[in-house]
Chains A and B, each alone.
Chain A
Amino acid sequence: MLINLIYIAASILFILGIKKLGSADTARSGNLLSAVGMALAVVATLFDRQILDFTWIFAGIAIGAVIGGVWAMRAEMTGMPELVALFNGFGGLASVLVGWAEFGKIQGQGWQKYLAASGGEVPDWFTTLAIALALIIGGITFTGSLIAWAKLSGRMGGAPTLFAGQKPLNLLLMGGILLASIIWVASPQAARAETLLITVVALSLLIGILGVIPIGGGDMPVVISLLNSFSGLAACAAGFVVLNNVLLVAGCLVGASGLILTIIMCKAMNRTLGNVLFGGFGATTGKTGAQVEGEMKALSVQDAYYVLEAANSVVIVPGYGMAVAQAQHACKELGVLLEKNGAEVRYAIHPVAGRMPGHMNVLLAEADVPYEQLCEMDDVNPIMPTVDVAIVIGANDVVNPAAAEDPTSPIYGMPIINVHEARSVFVLKRGQGAGFSGLVNTLFFRDNCRMIYGDAKSTLTSLVSEFE
């Protein structure tokens, strides 16, 4: 009874915490509230009468807290997407192990005693179904997040991995897991249950891997949001296994928030979720858009300085390239100097810039850019024609005018930041090659666009020294 009351308190703290995370002023205290909720839930659980031995519990908590704490404190802000993916994967695997452990408990005690302990009201097929769901969702979350982590941290190439028969194979695996689960749930007490459990776990781990390898780095914001949602749903399923309210409530909150982010990311790319997951973007469509005439015009840092010095309003558009070049601090320095020089400086951030939702905001916050200067796409586009210089740092597809103008382009219809409407555009880019998606960016061939080749960080640093 007391345990359940504490669980209610914990649920309230989670709800308040996640509500507060939705606003910049209250976000930090919201996170703290939800951490207190988690601590309450953990302490309450320790009073569970089923627990006979605390040795391994405290050992596990100590080991996990040290590892998690060290990783969290050491992580670079540019490495945030892969860290979140990794933590997410661990949450998924934890749900798998909880589901499996419950199965072990049932085998150890026998179904009769197990069901009697839960009040005798829950049928064996329901518990089995919940275990199967925890294993499947948790398993996919685990390996899917690991692949996402490998892609985001550069341990694995970011390009989609495609092979012949990929879709039929995936369908076959999904059919297999469905079949195994149905047989298992239909007769939970049969002797083959253990084999079925191992089959379900193995297939879900495989589906997680095969499901994420065909998805390109540029689509990672969608994938991590979706996997985030999955980790919540896996916790939910585990909640149905152990019949625990706080798991259900917290799991649902995470599941819903992840799903909302997924939808926002898909909208920002004008694509459906199915297209992101199964499209193998650019690689299977074969569409590359119309050919562009003209040439890209390079500009020296010194000439760029003369233009910037005379500018009254500047918009900086960061992308994943800024994260790669670790250029956020140099970028901020330039912004400060431009302001001192009398220009109005704004940072325009596309919802899918970078490799996770809000990636650029975190980097610029790390560099101490005040968040009032950060503008969302819809706020900055109307004023774009009045902007003197737009500086594009390591962004590509999100500023490609083909998305608005060329119906044959694969990204046609995706909302973009209209930098091409600014009086002049500077694009900081490493070389002449196409961007990550392999698309030609028609922006680069415009009359008002100049390319400044080189590493973004050193280009920005030289611009800064020109000003000084």
Chain B
Amino acid sequence: MELILLLFIFTLSVFLGFELISKVPSQLHTPLMSGSNAISGITIVGALVAAGLEIPLAKWLGFGAVILATINVVGGYLVTDRMLGMFKKKDQ
């Protein structure tokens, strides 16, 4: 049952993703890309659990994954914010 539930969520999420971003102005393509790139760092959730285990191989691989995913997440969000901060209207 749990498996079917996961596949169900997966399918719906794919459609949701396409619906959400079907029409983005080209001006925002770079921030969208780096912002969604930061979201892909969600793999950190899996990394955290692995790094907290007491199994040597899993722990060290998990530790590496935590570093990499955190770079992805923190760097991705910060750089997107910096970029979006520069998109100004004329009157401001």
Tell me the A residues contacting B by CB distance below 8 Å.
14-15, 17-19, 21-24, 27-28, 30-32, 34-35, 38, 41-42, 45-46, 48, 50-54, 56-57, 59-61, 63-65, 67-69, 71-73, 75, 77, 80, 83-84, 87-88, 90-91, 93-95, 97-98, 100-102, 104-105, 107-109, 118-119, 121-122, 126, 224-225, 228, 231-232, 234-236, 238-261, 264, 349, 351, 356-359, 361-362, 365-366, 368, 370-374, 376
Judge whether B46 and A244 touch: CB under 8 Å. Answer: yes
Chain B residues with CB below 8 A from A376, complex form: 25-27
Judge whether A57 and B1 touch: CB under 8 Å. Answer: no
Tell me the B residues contacting A by CB distance below 8 Å.
1-3, 6, 9-10, 13-14, 16-18, 20-59, 61-90
Give A130 Cβ to nearest chain B Cβ, in Å: 10
Residue picked from A27, A65, A239, most chain B C-beta under 10 Å? A27
Choice from B13, B34, B77 contacting A35 with Cβ under 8 Å: B77
Say whether chain A's binding surface is mostly helix, strand, loop, or mixed: helix
Q: Knowing A38-B73, A80-B34, A122-B2 touch, does A14 contact B52 (C-beta < 8 A)? A: no
Chain A residues with CB below 8 A from B87, complex form: 24, 27-28, 361, 365, 371
CB pairs A–B below 8 angstroms (20 shown): A17-B39, A35-B77, A38-B38, A38-B41, A56-B66, A57-B66, A60-B67, A67-B67, A68-B75, A73-B82, A84-B37, A87-B79, A97-B50, A248-B13, A250-B39, A251-B43, A253-B16, A261-B32, A351-B29, A357-B32
Judge whether B83 and A68 touch: CB under 8 Å. Answer: no
Q: Which 7 A-B pairs have the closest CB atoms?
A: A64-B70, A256-B17, A60-B66, A51-B52, A358-B29, A68-B75, A357-B29
Choice from A69, A101, A244, A261 contacting B62 with Cβ under 8 Å: A101
Judge whether B30 and A361 touch: CB under 8 Å. Answer: yes
- Name the residue of chain B whose CB is nearest to the CB of A98: B46
Judge whether A253 and B52 touch: CB under 8 Å. Answer: no
Please report the C-alpha to C-alpha distance between residue A29 and residue B82 in the assembled complex, in whole angstroms. Answer: 12
- A231-B40, A361-B26 are known contacts; what are 11 more A-B pairs with Cβ within 8 Å? A14-B42, A22-B23, A45-B49, A52-B53, A90-B68, A108-B56, A109-B55, A238-B46, A242-B49, A260-B24, A361-B87
Please report the C-alpha to C-alpha distance between residue A110 and residue B47 in the assembled complex, in whole angstroms. Answer: 20
Q: Knowing A28-B85, A91-B72, A374-B27 touch, does A228 contact B37 (C-beta < 8 A)? A: yes
- Name the residue of chain A whose CB is nearest to the CB of B63: A56
Judge whether A228 and B36 touch: CB under 8 Å. Answer: yes
Judge whether B49 and A51 touch: CB under 8 Å. Answer: yes
Please report the C-alpha to C-alpha distance between residue A352 and residue B58 in the assembled complex, in whole angstroms. Answer: 42
